[in-house]
Structure 1
Amino acid sequence: MNLREIALVRTNFRSVTETPNGRDRLSNSFYGLLFGENPMFRQLFPATMEHQRDRLVDAIQIVLDHLEQPDIARGFLEQLGRDHRKYGVDGSHYAAAARALHGALRAYTGPAFWTDSIDQAWWHVATLISDSMASGADTDDMPSHWDGTVVDHRRVLDDLAIVRLRTDTPIPYEAGQYLSVRTPQRPRMWRYLSPAIPSNPHGEIEFHIRRISGGWVSPSMVNETRVGDRWSLSSPLGGLKVDLDSGDDVLMIGSGTGIAPLRAQIMEMSSRGINPRVHLFVGGRHPCDLYDLYTMWELAMVNPWLTVVPVSEEENDPWWHVEPPREHPIGMHQRLVGPIGKVVASFGAWTDRQIQIAGSPRMVAETTQELLAAGTPWERIQHDPV
């Protein structure tokens, strides 16, 4: 695509999605056209489409953001194609999806503004999406999903649980990746989680899960999971990774359960003899939210290349947290107070570091903006799609 076509689709997409209820209307139109032409497709999707609709618009936005970098866009879409095999989708389904996307945008934009140039530009985007996802689905030789048994479920906070599974066969994920999970309590709903430990030949995998108020899946994962439950897990996705060949040191910033992909990478690095220096900032709203701080301290005690800095937005725990505060680990950097992005940026621009950010979408966005404002080069920052 040329620069004019890229500008056309981006401007048109903003005009659609930034109007009141524009995101919902676009996704509703897309799925209405898709299911109208192919009624059997509806059974491949969960009963509630709320999260599916949000993810559709977010995925399109990610593609549009990387049209000048087609290899990145194609790589992201191929991963999505592999991931969608868990629904029973294969490469033959994506041509219909391209027609539905093109038709939804045309219908929403209206004939007065839908020019031949926009039509052609969007068809190029729709073709890129469908061809890349079909390629990912059809060329993947891994299973569409794995099954595993819950062997441990531990509540570490009222709203946070650590769940460990043993899969029937090991999942070949890389530390820093994420995958989607389905539980027996919500059999048609998949949620993305990051393993908190590296892949191992025993098939053990661990997730740190926070209960989201009003969520469809996380409350049941935290409250209702039992040892012996059977979970399904899809193909690994994402690309958070330390480049060991670059010679650059590393800055990792994690908040809440977002520390999981960073934790897995640090554990994997600790099995090697030589590593770059790693500064890990571990954040949470309250001190009690730094639930895994002692694990990270123990890793730092035996790995001199690792420095762990705890950060909390509030000085003290909330009144309803009844457990007494834990003593600060000996030898660890004193806990800092404030929004984690501001705290990290106060140390400088970190221009010589590989930087990874993991946490909630809001935390990732705010931390990224704080670093950019401090002078951090954009290309230094890594995070998964949010």
Structure 2
Amino acid sequence: MTADPISPIPQSGRVREVPPAVAAMVDLIRQTWRQAEPYTPEISQFFYGMLFTLAPATRDFFPINMESQRGRLVRALVHIIQLVDRPDDLAPFLRQLGRDHRKFGVVPKHYEAVGTALLAALKRQLGDVWTPPVERAWAEAYTIIARSMQEAAGKDTNPPCWLATVAEHRRLSWDLALVRVEPEQQVPYEAGQYMSIEVPQRPRLWRYLSPANAPRPDGSLEFHVRAVEGGWVSRAIVSHTQSGDVWRIGQPMGRLAVNRESGRDVLMIAGGTGAAPLRAILDNLAQWGENPKVTLFYGGASREDLYDLEQLRALASTNPWLTVCPVVEHGEGLPGFAHGTLADVVTQHGAWPEHDVLVSGSPAMIRATVSRMLVAGTPLDRIRYDPFTID
């Protein structure tokens, strides 16, 4: 399994009818996790100790300083397991995740070791609560996940990862940088996807980033990276990346996209550097003469957070199907800006029932915005967002 800080979130409201046995299994998992979750640090410590004993080679999958890892993998595993009853959301994500794990050199015995270590850690913490039905539920759910990931990995013919050289590093502000890299081989991604990145300043600390451009003939990728508090990788990229650095890039992931054939207009909601994947989609749409009407709400705490506003406005000036609406939480009186949170401003315009909705930003921004839109009446099956966090 991965060291990535994954926090899976369902991408849509499409819910396939699941067998009662699967629903009961997931209910049991959720009930027991509520009892175990306060003890995540203890569970994580035991989990890693057990994992490295069962499969010593897995130690090389993780950073030397495990402090930065903490309980990320355990939380990620549990979040994924709790989505077993959402196959339409989970299956595509697991296939992408399985392909991405090839970069570590993961083999079936590693999946087995992770499962054994996770169950052992939970059993130790839950004590009498860990009954045979509980153990069977966790084991069956993990088996479903591991099998899906291994099958996808086995069918992938792409390289496990790509090498890319930093061609440009430019500070846009004290905490924000634009980085352009040139891969040795074309990375087969689609506009709106994200990918895991390893930089030489932070070996083994893979983090997800979204290219801000559609695929180009020269294969180059542009990333917009903000240094976040406690973000080991983001801070290293912003402050220490140099031209000539070699990055490793994992498999493209995610399903953010615009269906030009749906006949529906599009609402995009971007917070901060969450504008990057949506800008990539707009970059891709700009090659067509006709597109659905796209309304982009681009927000941040202050005007400075809307670093890409002028470029997006320039794109809108040459593409009449695009409207850009800037939003700031602090800074009343700015001409042409709406004031408030993205959730506030977007829902002031109603439920957008006839639109496909794409949301991109921090996990907190995504949750707040999607929750408000659901209350306003937006159909959940029209909303898309990707299951990853930054640092």
Normalised TM-score (structure 2): 0.89
Trace 1:143-158 onto structure 2 (pairs within 5 A): 143-158=159-174
Q: 2:319 aligns with which of 303, 306, 309?
A: 303
Q: 1:338 aligns with which of 334, 337, 340?
A: 340
Name the structure, 1 or 2, with higher relative contact order (CA <8 Å, separation 6+): 2
Trace 1:37-76 onto structure 2 (pairs within 5 A): 37-50=54-67, 52-76=69-93
- Taking structure 1 as reference, are residues 271 and 385 closer, same or farther at Cα in structure 2, changes over 3 Å only? same
The one-letter code matched in structure 2 to 1:295 is: Q
The aligned residue for residue 379 of structure 1 is 381
> Is the 8 Å Cα contact of residues 150 and 165 (structure 1) preserved in structure 2?
yes
Show CA shifts across 1:293-340 (max 9, x none): 1111111111111110000111079xxxxxxx9xx7xxxxx2111111
Distance 1:363 1:200 in 2: 30
- SS in structure 2 at match of 1:2: helix
Distance 1:272 1:35 in 2: 52
Tell me the percent identity: 45
The one-letter code matched in structure 2 to 1:5 is: M
The aligned residue for residue 16 of structure 1 is 36
> Is the 8 Å Cα contact of residues 283 and 340 (structure 1) preserved in structure 2?
yes
Say if 2:207 is the partner of 1:205.
no
Trace 1:217-296 onto structure 2 (pairs within 5 A): 217-296=233-312
- Taking structure 1 as reference, are residues 186 and 269 closer, same or farther at Cα in structure 2, changes over 3 Å only? same
Distance 1:282 1:222 in 2: 22
> Is the 8 Å Cα contact of residues 270 and 298 (structure 2) preserved in structure 1?
yes
> Is the 8 Å Cα contact of residues 211 and 219 (structure 1) preserved in structure 2?
yes
**Structure 1 vs Structure 2 CA RMSD:** 1.9
How many Å apart are 1:362 and its aligned residue? Answer: 1.2
The aligned residue for residue 347 of structure 1 is 349
How many Å apart are 1:72 and its aligned residue? Answer: 3.0
How many Å apart are 1:342 and its aligned residue? Answer: 0.9
The one-letter code matched in structure 2 to 1:76 is: F
The aligned residue for residue 93 of structure 1 is 110
The one-letter code matched in structure 2 to 1:16 is: A
- SS in structure 2 at match of 1:201: coil
> Is the 8 Å Cα contact of residues 91 and 135 (structure 1) preserved in structure 2?
no
The aligned residue for residue 331 of structure 1 is none
Q: 1:365 aligns with which of 343, 363, 367?
A: 367
How many Å apart are 1:344 and its aligned residue? Answer: 0.7
Q: 2:52 aligns with which of 35, 45, 66?
A: 35
Distance 1:204 1:134 in 2: 30
Q: 1:77 aligns with which of 94, 119, 122?
A: 94
Say if 2:23 is the partner of 1:7.
no
The one-letter code matched in structure 2 to 1:185 is: Q
Show CA shifts across 1:268-316 (max 9, x none): 0111122111110111111121111111111111111111000011107
Distance 2:134 2:295 in 1: 46
Show CA shifts across 1:215-243 (max 9, x none): 21111211111122211111111111112
> Is the 8 Å Cα contact of residues 360 and 386 (structure 2) preserved in structure 1?
yes
Distance 1:382 1:54 in 2: 27
Q: Structure 1 residues 23-32 or 350-359, which shifts more?
A: 23-32
How many Å apart are 1:53 and its aligned residue? Answer: 4.5
Distance 1:47 1:136 in 2: 29
The one-letter code matched in structure 2 to 1:2 is: V
Task: Give unmatched runs, 5+ long, in structure 2.
Answer: 1-20
Show CA shifts across 1:333-358 (max 9, x none): x2111111111111111121111111
How many Å apart are 1:88 and its aligned residue? Answer: 2.2
Distance 2:211 2:147 in 1: 30
Moved over 6 A (4+): none
The one-letter code matched in structure 2 to 1:342 is: D
Distance 1:64 1:38 in 2: 22
Task: Give unmatched runs, 5+ long, in structure 1.
Answer: 318-324, 329-333
- Taking structure 1 as reference, are residues 3 and 183 closer, same or farther at Cα in structure 2, changes over 3 Å only? closer
Distance 1:237 1:15 in 2: 32
The aligned residue for residue 312 of structure 1 is 328
Q: 1:141 aligns with which of 157, 178, 181?
A: 157
How many Å apart are 1:52 and its aligned residue? Answer: 4.1
> Is the 8 Å Cα contact of residues 90 and 137 (structure 1) preserved in structure 2?
no
> Is the 8 Å Cα contact of residues 32 and 129 (structure 2) preserved in structure 1?
no
Distance 1:11 1:209 in 2: 38
Distance 1:90 1:51 in 2: 25
The aligned residue for residue 3 of structure 2 is none
- SS in structure 2 at match of 1:131: helix
How many Å apart are 1:64 and its aligned residue? Answer: 3.8
